[in-house]
Amino acid sequence: MRNFHLLYSFALLITCSRGFTTAWAPATTTRRTTTTNSIHQQPFGNQIQSTSASKSALFFAPQRSNRHRPSIVIDIASSKISVIDKSSSSTRTQTTKLDAAPTSIANSLPFANSPKALIAISIIGHVLGGLIGTPFVIRATRGPVSWYRKISLPSWTPPDAIFGPVWSTLYALMGLAIGRLWNATASNPQPMNILALGLWTVHYIINVLWAPTFFGMKKLRLASIMNGLLLSTLIPVIVLLGFHIQPVPQPATAALLLPYLGWLTFATFLNENICKRNPTDTKFGGYNEARLQADLAKLQQQAARFANGK
């Protein structure tokens, strides 16, 4: 009888050990996709991993012998975790939504997941921004009696008809280049990318304000200073685009800004020459028509004296 009790105790111990091991066996992991009804599985260590590339949900199911353990469903698309408990007579489901923090600037920028849309928006925005100064230019150059027609211009000043097409083309190239920079910064917000985008923001604001300053406020000297600021911010942007943008430098994108650099350099020399040819007041070099008329009167008097031999 004693031997029977020992044998029975030993068998019971083995049974309990097997039950404990089975109860805590690794669960089966399955990825369920919304694009297909089938579930593709392959062994991966102690678990089963899906071979589908679709990012929809992960399903953690207990083994058949462990039906008392709940199933866990992780919905990657909607950032939800669901716990399904089928141990009782009725199935209970508890769902928790996760607060997914953005991993980069791309998650917070509008249209950040559509590079073509960003480039299109950048081109349209740059062209429309350039139109801000158009009313000031038209008002200052309309008619032969406008103040711009009265000042002295160098002989190498381009015709008025050239400025519109040239600036429209340059603004479109700016938009294309900065759209690419925007895409690079959105997907890879490295310090150099952010620096280039910040410098360009400052540059473009000065660019938009130049026409109202020169043609609207008649501040010739201040406009010349602004041209210097434009050059000092454009050159670093080109260098950053061509050599330092992450993850890969973009020399082709930097080349899109070279025509603008050439035209801006020419415009800076033109602006400075106009300042030297025309009298300006002491406050940021504003055009002073009264002083111009006084200087012209003096020149006429000197010419008359010279003609009379005095």
What distance separates the 2 farthest-apart alpha carbons in the chain?
A: 154
pTM of the model: 0.59
262/239 Cα distance (integer angstroms)? 15
Task: Name beta bridge partners: 44.
Answer: 47
105-308 has CATH 1.10.1040.10 classification:
no
- List of the chain residues with pLDDT < 50: 2-56, 100-106
> What pLDDT score was predicted for residue 132?
93
Q: How many CB atoms lie within 10 A of CB 238?
A: 20
> What pLDDT score was predicted for residue 200?
97
> What pLDDT score was predicted for residue 71?
61
Domain extent listing, the chain:
27-97, 105-308
> What pLDDT score was predicted for residue 42?
40
150/136 Cα distance (integer angstroms)? 16
3-state secondary structure the chain: CHHHHHHHHHHHHHHHHHHHHHHCCCCEEEEECCCCCCCCEEEECCEEEECCCCCCEEEEECCHHHCCCCEEEEECCCCEEEEEECCCCCCEEEEEECCCCCCCHHHCCCCCCCHHHHHHHHHHHHHHHHHHHHHHHHHHHCCCCCHHHHCCCCCCCCCHHHHHHHHHHHHHHHHHHHHHHHHHHHHCCCHHHHHHHHHHHHHHHHHHHHHHHHHHCCEHHHHHHHHHHHHHHHHHHHHHHHHCCCCCCCHHHHHCCHHHHHHHHHHHHHHHHHHHHCCECCCCCEECHHHHHHHHHHHHHHHHHHHHCC
Burial class (CB in 10 A: 0-12, 13-18, 19+), 103: exposed
